[in-house]
Structures are given as structure tokens and as C-alpha cells.
């Protein structure tokens, strides 16, 4: 019985080949969009999930309007974290994260391999102001 249904369906698909092609293109476009959307949502939901206390982490975003354009950025004033911590008792820790290009040249050294000097203020800022990090480096400042 199923063989008859499949045979009839195949003949119908061959008979209306343009309609079949249109349906297949629509189906493949819909599935592609759904997969891309699922990948994006999954990526957004997995941010900071490697932290032990990921439910207590929040990221501050800033909206800037310049010359009629609105930009959203994760960069803000360096003093903002400390100010929010002082004004809001719910905030236990605040850390400013700077893009790598804000810092000068530095290198890490292991064994005999060395290069430029690492700034001590960067090491102090990262290790003391943000204790929520759950990873530990085998060698280095963390």
C-alpha cells in the first residue's frame, strides 16, 4: 500500500516539476533560516556559562548617539564599575574589561621564552577586582 502511495507521489512530483522545485526551494530556505536562527540563539544563551556563578554576572552595554547614528558598545568609562559598586549595594564586584588594543605591547614568558614586560597594573586589576573567574592558568598571573 505504501509503495503505491510513493509511486503516485513520485509521478505527481515529476508531472508538476516547477511547482515541486518552488516548494523545495521554499522548504530549504525556511530550514536554513531556522538553523541559522537556532545557532545564533544558542550562541547568545551560552555566553558566560563556563563561570560557576553565571547567574550573578551582568554586562553593561552603552548606547551612543553620534551624528545621527546609534551605536551599542560594551565599552564604557573605567570609573563606571566602581561608581555603580559604591551607589548600589547589590553589586558585590565590578570589573572593567578593555579591548586588547588599549594596552601597550606585552608578552608572557614561560621557561626560556621571554618577550616584553607585562604591566603590573593590569595584573593587579584582573586578579583582585574580579574574583568570579573560575579558571586557573597553569602558569602566569591568574
Segments of the chain with pLDDT less than 70: 97-142
Task: Please name every residue paired with 70 in a beta bridge, in sequence order, or none if there are none.
Answer: 65
The pLDDT value given to residue 135: 60
For the chain, the structural domain boundaries read: 2-45, 54-129
The pLDDT value given to residue 51: 73
| Residue pair 106/118 in contact by the 8 Å Cβ criterion | yes
C-alpha closest to that of 99 among 62, 65, 74, 116: 74
The pLDDT value given to residue 128: 46
Q: What is the pLDDT of residues 34-47, one digit of tens each?
A: 999 999 999 988 87
For the chain, give the percent of residues with pLDDT over 70.
67
Amino acid at each position: 500500500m505504501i509503495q503505491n502511495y510513493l509511486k503516485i507521489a513520485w509521478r505527481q512530483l515529476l508531472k508538476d516539476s516547477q511547482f515541486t522545485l518552488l516548494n523545495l526551494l521554499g522548504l530549504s530556505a525556511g530550514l536554513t533560516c531556522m538553523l541559522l536562527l537556532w545557532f545564533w540563539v544558542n550562541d547568545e544563551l551560552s555566553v558566560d556559562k563556563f563561570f560557576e556563578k553565571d547567574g550573578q554576572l551582568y554586562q553593561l552595554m552603552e548606547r551612543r548617539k553620534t551624528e545621527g547614528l546609534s551605536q551599542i558598545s560594551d565599552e564604557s568609562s573605567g570609573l563606571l564599575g566602581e561608581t555603580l559598586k559604591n551607589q548600589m549595594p547589590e553589586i558585590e564586584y565590578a570589573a572593567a574589561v578593555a579591548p586588547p588594543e588599549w594596552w601597550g605591547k606585552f608578552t608572557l614568558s614561560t621557561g626560556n621564552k621571554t618577550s616584553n614586560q607585562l604591566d603590573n597594573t593590569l595584573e593587579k586589576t584582573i586578579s583582585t577586582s574580579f574574583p568570579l573567574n573560575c579558571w586557573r592558568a597553569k602558569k602566569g598571573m591568574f
